[in-house]
């Protein structure tokens, strides 16, 4: 990779760090591990993105926000966004920073290495207690569940674990 190309890619990545999940304002699409590939050719960039949930109504907004952010990068004139399903987005793609930011937002991050079909542990994002109850495996958005912390008596949300089922 030429020096110019690599510095352009870096600028694009910086811009992507400012694109937030419209439904979780503190977390960027990089934090969530949604960006798969960034390919800069001259003044054009192609970005492939992994959707979290297929029926997520935020996808169109994310696509628009990515284009807007990246086309503002100096030297880039057009950005193409493509949603791809391989590799599958899984919750272990969420970065350590992403996990921290989810907690700040009151959402407990999913276990890092979940195996579908097996039980999982969810800690309260506020007090860290494991003394919690699952109120509803489904929540306000497709990717979240609703829980209650018996220790600090706070309701909270958690991201559903999603693992590749092979």
Q: For the CB of residue 15, give the shortest distance to other proteins in the complex, in Å.
A: 25
| Contact with other proteins (CB under 8 A) among 2, 41, 74, 86 | 86
37 belongs to the binding site for other proteins (CB under 8 A): no
What is the DSSP pairing of strand 132-136 with strand 107-108?
unpaired
Tell me which residue has tokens 């694009």: 12
Q: What's the CA gap between 32 and 28, in Å, rounded?
A: 6
Binding mask 114-153 for other proteins (x = CB under 8 A): --xx-----------------xxxxxxxx---x-------
How many chain residues interact with other proteins (CB under 8 A)?
Answer: 27
Q: For the CB of residue 39, give the shortest distance to other proteins in the complex, in Å.
A: 20
The region of 24-32, 67-75, 97-105, 156-164 touching other proteins under the rule CB under 8 A is: 156-164
Contact 157, 139 (CB under 8 A): yes
Q: What's the CA gap between 124 and 132, in Å, rounded?
A: 7
Q: For the CB of residue 159, give the shortest distance to other proteins in the complex, in Å.
A: 12
What is the DSSP pairing of strand 44-49 with strand 132-136?
unpaired
| Contact with other proteins (CB under 8 A) among 56, 61, 127, 152 | 56
Q: For the CB of residue 77, give the shortest distance to other proteins in the complex, in Å.
A: 24
| Contact with other proteins (CB under 8 A) among 6, 7, 54, 77 | 54
* Angstrom distances, CA of residue 142 to CA of 52, 108, 126, 129: 9, 15, 22, 25
Quickly count: other Cβ atoms within 10 Å of residue 120's Cβ: 14
Comparing CB distances to other proteins, the nearer of 17 and 139 is: 139
51 Cβ contact list (under 8 Å, min separation 6): 34, 59, 83, 85, 89
The footprint of other proteins (CB under 8 A) covers 51, 53-57, 85-86, 88, 90, 116-117, 135-142, 146, 160, 162-166
């Amino acid at each position: 990779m030429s020096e110019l190309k690599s510095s352009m890619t870096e600028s694009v990545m910086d811009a992507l760090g400012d694109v937030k999940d419209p439904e979780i304002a503190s977390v960027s699409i990089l934090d969530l591990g949604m960006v798969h590939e960034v390919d800069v050719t001259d003044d054009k960039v192609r970005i492939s993105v992994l959707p979290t949930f297929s029926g997520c109504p935020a996808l169109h907004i994310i696509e628009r926000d990515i284009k807007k952010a990246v086309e503002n990068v100096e030297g880039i004139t057009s950005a193409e966004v493509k949603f791809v399903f391989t590799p599958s987005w899984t919750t272990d793609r969420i970065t350590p920073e992403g996990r921290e930011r989810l907690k700040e937002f009151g959402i407990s991050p999913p276990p890092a290495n979940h195996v579908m079909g097996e039980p999982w542990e969810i800690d309260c994002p506020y007090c860290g207690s494991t003394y919690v109850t699952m109120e509803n495996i489904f929540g306000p958005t497709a990717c979240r569940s609703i829980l209650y912390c018996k220790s600090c008596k706070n309701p909270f949300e958690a991201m559903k674990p999603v693992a590749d089922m092979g």
